[in-house]
Structure 1
Amino acid sequence: MRPDERTVLSLVRDQVERRPGAVAVSGHGEDLTYRRLWDLAGTLAAGLVARGVRRGDLVAVAVNPSVDLVVAFLGVLRAGAAYLPLDNRAPADRLAVILDEAAPAVVLHARDRTRWTTPLPPGLTPVTVPDEVSSQVGTVEIGPDDPAYVAYTSGSTGRPKGVVVPHRAVVRLVTDADYCPLGPDDRVASLSNPAFDATTFEVWAPLAAGGAVVAIPSPVDLVLEDWAAALGELSITAMFLTTSLFHSVARELPTAFEQLEHLVVGGEQLDAEMVRRVLGSRPPGRIVNGYGPTETTTFAAVFECSAEAMRDVARTPIGYPLQKTTLHVLDEHLRPVSAGETGELCIGGPGVALGYLGRPELTAERFVLAPAAGERIYRTGDLVRQLPGGALEVVGRRDRQVKLRGFRIELEEVEQAAAATGLVDAVFVEKVGEGPAATLVGFALPTAGGQEELPVALRARLAEVLPDYMVPARWVVLSHVPLGPTGKADRGELLALLETVSRTDGDLPIESVDDICRVWREVLRVPQVEPCDNFIDLGGNSLLAVQAAARMNEFLITSVEPAEILLAESAAELGARVRPAGAVG
């Protein structure tokens, strides 16, 4: 088979033939060999075909990271279909919108359905991932341009958009991958939300190389020291982490990655100081900054963060093109700019997606044939410039799209959802801060006679239609909308309304609820925390809970996990359940 004819299935099938008895997938005490993975996927595929699934159809996958997730993905591909991974943390209404547009006839569930908590709309045929091998699917002919999966991202029109990714794009990502060379002895961590396209790397990169996919908890689910120990116990050699999650771990436990051969970080601007902190503290074999929109299949550019490369760097570059990928810096007319000048990053090569599901106008706008590039390219909207050494550096956005904790968010979608509640006459949403301290802040002008508890009401209403990472953690209620010289809302003046709070010294021992409040205040960077305050209501999230737990555990007899902080009704309620070091009785 010629390289340009390969599909994801052919890559995995090659490993099944070469090492049928090697472990392909591991998780929750269960191992699957390559042969058993292939046969279970074949059993699932046969069941899907029997239910009418055909080449090019979409199959929804409501499964969290696990052995079953890999069986589900491979089974869908063996049926000739494309998988649609769902987000277990998304509101039911948002999933309903996605499923209504994508219209999959079947939804796959794990054997243990209790791990999936978000209700799905009726009308979908439920199928459970098999645990026994039975009838196998026949050969289903597919090619490199057949869809492999559809990943939904935030949309600027207030409507999520589905990116259709073909087999050739995944093959480009995982073969001859110098940015993260894997082999049969590698064990790659699987911990990302399946709806996030990092899963593409986590699953198919190790399977294409004859290695193992290993489902592990996220750092937000365990005490950091326990999580780091689990990496060693599970013999993890390679891992992807979102930038914000990397920042959180690097800040609290920079030695956590020492047993890794490869650590790939991506999703947001990578803090150079955090990288240097890890490099100076028993680092992994290599750290790579990976950049790439969903529309270009996980990664399009990479930068190896060696000690030498990071020595005098103030802002971590996104680096150089991935294998078989082209990067073009173009002006608004799609003409190349001179080296060092700022332009829009446009990406070409086999990693570029087919387009947006059911959105031909948007596809034509963002996926274009550029004469200067001589190929079909994706317009990222990111503004970049070429540094003297040839690496690219992101300097901003053409639109108002932001990234938060690895998730791409169109701020207009959040604003439109808030306006649709009928609670506000005007609303503006901005991203404030960087790394794990980044958060969304909303500015709202209430309707006439508006509600006294507008922030609470807005959070509740938005939680019904948006995933948690898109709901602003903080709201500022406006008495009027400040206007700039052109008559438009002055967003700079809005941001000036926010108080700038400096971090205070966090090395004092925790002796009371007041000290828990102090730690929360430092981590959340808010002016005041009262015992009755709730961590999430103050702007907390899972990444900041990791930091808070790490600081508190230095002084507590009984360890506090990040989930306990997130679930606590208040600082006082959490304080009633823990004891400070030195406490008696």
Structure 2
Amino acid sequence: MLFIKRFLDQVDEKPHLSAVADQLREITYEQLCSRARRAARVIAKISSEVMIGVAVNKSADYVVSVLAVHLLGRTVVPLDSHCPISRLKQMITSVDLSLCLVSRCQEDKLTDMLQASIRLIYIEDAIGEEDANDNAESTRSVEEEAPAYVVFTSGTTGKPKPVLMPYRALNTLIDGMAKATEPRGTTLLYASQGFDVSFQEIYATLCYGDRLLIVTDAQKKDLYALTEQLSKERVTRLFLPTSMLIPFVTFSLYEGVTLFDLSEVIVAGEQLKVTPIVRRWFKSHSRCRLINHYGPSETHVVMTCQLDNEPDDWPDLPPIGQLIAGSDAWLLDERLQPVATGCSGQLYISGRSLALGYYGMPELTSKSFITHPLTQERMYNTGDICVLNERAQYEYKGRHDRQYKVRGYRVELREVEVAVLASGLVDDCLVVASQLGLTTSLILYFTAPERGQDFSLSLHSHLAATLPEYMLPSFYRGIADIPLNQNGKIDTAKLPQVGGVRPRLSSNYVEPQGQLETLVCELAAECFGLDRIGANDNFMEAGANSFTLISMLAELRHVLGHSFRQTDLFEFPTPRLLCGNVQRSKEAPESKNSIASDTKRKLRSAAIHNTHGRMRGRHA
């Protein structure tokens, strides 16, 4: 069934139930639909363009905007305001966008850029006031092959690739997420606007009569605020990037937070790793299911694996799952011939979930979407190497090319290299992906005209203004030459090691002093995947990113019993500065963070002792 029809059925059946809640308001299904219909009529009067940009910040108005476009049977082009302006310009140009929905509370810098390029509609004006036509039918007939949304993925040319996903694919996904007769629940809208999972979160909720809860980006990045919202709002379903699962469960256990209402955690983006702390959390939340989803942007979700039985029996690396209805998979060799049972092959996907291709890129589309030589089906080359096990589940074994998932997003390493070379600061460069600490990290090796000069900070500044945060390298390393093997190909084995060993930083290594500094340095090294961190080392220079900083905050809050703010690691960016702030806070007479009893001191001392023991075990 058409997903937008499913939503309208819910409006008819449950008009007065809460549909969407954000920081400012909570609106019912009837109110949500009325606002979307008013906005749809405004869009229809102004333009007949198929592509409609949506640059509204994540809020109830963002959901209204998406619904309005889909009520018209048109295409949502989500524009995440957190992307650099230069990248947003590339996105707009790549799809010939001429109309965009924005909000009056948008940043002036973004609005000015959009206004200079395309026509704008303020969503507040489009929603307007209630009128007699609110209940008038505004849904247009929708062709299943029409594009429902565009997502942008990393590309080898240095420019984002616009993937056109049809209504057919989103219909298939939402049909596959049909609920049994379960109590009404609440789903968190966690994913960024430019991430395809956001459409899954919205429609898997609104098409089945549930409630969608929207959190701010600040709450999303602060595990304390996030878990508080999950508990307070009684969230039942949570979609998470795989790389956020371990920080999330670690914080929850350390803080002693039990999320009684949470019944489903769905992860996707990178290979799922089940660690002891993941098992421990799900044992303490026995009603909550862990579900692994798989699917590139060109197919969205095509496989799912629900981890049954006891958490102690879960595999360390679970399968990516079994096919959902409407999709087919093929494991083929380099000649597009089926591989033998139990052997690894390159994964190809066919069926109703396939994208239409890349907008304005016919050559790249024909290269990635090919015809099966036997069945003549159109299929997508995922580039993933997989094996089909005896339970008819696909197991991920690696990549065929230089695409990697970093914090849930696909990154084409060549795109980062193109951006580096565009800086004019280096002669040559190479980006590699490596599993360091808790996440997949990008390492940039570069050769520069002046070998005695370190361009790391200049390169980072250039890239931060060009690429989204998840594409930024965590480590920068100047080298004399890019190493080659006898065949003239790059020999990554000869690259100097980065990660595991403290990189060369702008400050010399300073030994930590005292128990507190030593603990913070060890925790930072553990989270960043390094052998050591000095007392005066800058966390960001040492390779920290948003995910490893979240993990570090969770560890620090647990071990020290101090209510760290999300901004503390930026305001006090070295272990010594951070420890100084903690000491000052504890010495303040009215500090709520001071340790007031012998019992608390003993508990924290035991926690510190246990943490030291755990770390020594990992580094051994």
Return the TM-score normalized by structure 1. 0.90
| In 2: Cα distance, 1:569 partner to 1:400 partner | 33
Do the aligned residues in 2 keep the contact of 1:534 with 1:568 (CA within 8 Å)?
A: no
| In 1: Cα distance, 2:443 partner to 2:364 partner | 28
Consecutive unaligned residues in structure 2, runs of 5 or more: 503-511, 590-620
| In 2: Cα distance, 1:39 partner to 1:220 partner | 29
Question: 1:13 maps to which residue?
Answer: 8
State the SS of the aligned residue for 1:45.
helix
Do the aligned residues in 2 keep the contact of 1:53 with 1:81 (CA within 8 Å)?
A: no
Residue 177 (structure 1) shift: 2.2
Question: 1:163 maps to which residue?
Answer: 163
Consecutive unaligned residues in structure 1, runs of 5 or more: 1-5, 502-507
| In 2: Cα distance, 1:355 partner to 1:174 partner | 21
Q: Which amino acid aligns with 2:15?
A: P
Residue 560 (structure 1) shift: 0.9
What pairs with 1:228-239 in structure 2 (closer than 5 Å)? 228-239=227-238
Name which of structure 1's ranges 103-112 and 554-563 shifts more when overlaid on structure 2.
Answer: 554-563
Among residues 74, 93, 105, which one is paired with 1:100 in the alignment? Answer: 93
> CA-to-partner distance for each residue in 1:217-237, whole Å, 9 max, x for gaps?
569746534432321211211
Question: 2:607 maps to which residue?
Answer: none
| In 2: Cα distance, 1:29 partner to 1:284 partner | 31
Question: 1:265 maps to which residue?
Answer: 267
Distance change (3 Å), C-alpha of 1:415 and 1:316: same
Question: 1:172 maps to which residue?
Answer: 172
Q: Which amino acid aligns with 1:270?
A: L
Among residues 363, 367, 370, which one is paired with 2:369 in the alignment? Answer: 367
Q: Which amino acid aligns with 2:349?
A: I
Q: Which amino acid aligns with 1:385?
A: V
Q: Provide the aligned C-alpha RMSD in A.
A: 2.8
Residue 373 (structure 1) shift: 4.3
What pairs with 1:132-531 in structure 2 (closer than 5 Å)? 132-134=129-131, 138-177=138-177, 185-217=184-216, 221=220, 224-254=223-253, 258-273=260-275, 275-297=278-300, 299-308=301-310, 311=313, 313-433=315-435, 436-447=438-449, 449-450=450-451, 452-494=453-495, 496=497, 499-500=500-501, 512=516, 515-531=519-535
What pairs with 1:501-580 in structure 2 (closer than 5 Å)? 512=516, 515-554=519-558, 556=560, 558-566=562-570, 568-579=572-583
Do the aligned residues in 1 keep the contact of 2:346 with 2:383 (CA within 8 Å)?
A: yes
Do the aligned residues in 1 keep the contact of 2:190 with 2:220 (CA within 8 Å)?
A: no
Name which of structure 1's ranges 539-548 and 93-102 shifts more when overlaid on structure 2.
Answer: 539-548
Q: Which amino acid aligns with 2:120?
A: P
Question: 2:507 maps to which residue?
Answer: none
Distance change (3 Å), C-alpha of 1:396 and 1:276: same
Residue 435 (structure 1) shift: 7.2
Residue 212 (structure 1) shift: 1.5
Question: 1:81 maps to which residue?
Answer: 74
Residue 193 (structure 1) shift: 0.7
Distance change (3 Å), C-alpha of 1:394 and 1:181: farther
State the SS of the aligned residue for 2:582.
coil
Distance change (3 Å), C-alpha of 1:182 and 1:176: farther
Q: Which amino acid aligns with 2:59?
A: S
Residue 210 (structure 1) shift: 1.3
Q: Which amino acid aligns with 1:214?
A: L
Residue 332 (structure 1) shift: 2.2
Question: 2:601 maps to which residue?
Answer: none
| In 2: Cα distance, 1:464 partner to 1:11 partner | 41
Do the aligned residues in 2 keep the contact of 1:557 with 1:579 (CA within 8 Å)?
A: no
Do the aligned residues in 2 keep the contact of 1:24 with 1:33 (CA within 8 Å)?
A: yes
> CA-to-partner distance for each residue in 1:26-64, whole Å, 9 max, x for gaps?
11141111111111011111111222134xx11111123
| In 2: Cα distance, 1:372 partner to 1:562 partner | 55
Q: Which amino acid aligns with 1:539?
A: G
Among residues 113, 124, 144, which one is paired with 1:120 in the alignment? Answer: 113
| In 2: Cα distance, 1:580 partner to 1:446 partner | 43
The structure that has the greater radius of gyration is 2
Distance change (3 Å), C-alpha of 1:292 and 1:176: closer
4+ runs deviating over 6 angstroms: 115-119, 508-511
| In 2: Cα distance, 1:184 partner to 1:435 partner | 39
Distance change (3 Å), C-alpha of 1:285 and 1:498: closer
Distance change (3 Å), C-alpha of 1:542 and 1:279: same
Residue 326 (structure 1) shift: 1.3
Distance change (3 Å), C-alpha of 1:544 and 1:417: same
| In 2: Cα distance, 1:115 partner to 1:559 partner | 34
Residue 412 (structure 1) shift: 0.8
Residue 527 (structure 1) shift: 4.1
% same residue: 29
Question: 1:72 maps to which residue?
Answer: 65
Q: Which amino acid aligns with 1:198?
A: V
Question: 1:42 maps to which residue?
Answer: 37
Question: 2:102 maps to which residue?
Answer: 109
> CA-to-partner distance for each residue in 1:343-395, whole Å, 9 max, x for gaps?
11111221111111111111111112214345221111101001122211010
| In 1: Cα distance, 2:514 partner to 2:244 partner | 25
| In 2: Cα distance, 1:443 partner to 1:182 partner | 54
State the SS of the aligned residue for 2:172.
helix
| In 1: Cα distance, 2:192 partner to 2:181 partner | 22
State the SS of the aligned residue for 1:89.
coil
| In 2: Cα distance, 1:145 partner to 1:435 partner | 43
| In 2: Cα distance, 1:510 partner to 1:407 partner | 40
> CA-to-partner distance for each residue in 1:296-345, whole Å, 9 max, x for gaps?
12x11011112358716242110100122212212223222222111111
Equivalent pairs counted in the alignment come to 569
> CA-to-partner distance for each residue in 1:491-515, whole Å, 9 max, x for gaps?
12115465447xxxxxx99965565
Do the aligned residues in 1 keep the contact of 2:406 with 2:439 (CA within 8 Å)?
A: no
Do the aligned residues in 1 keep the contact of 2:431 with 2:444 (CA within 8 Å)?
A: yes
Residue 79 (structure 1) shift: 2.9
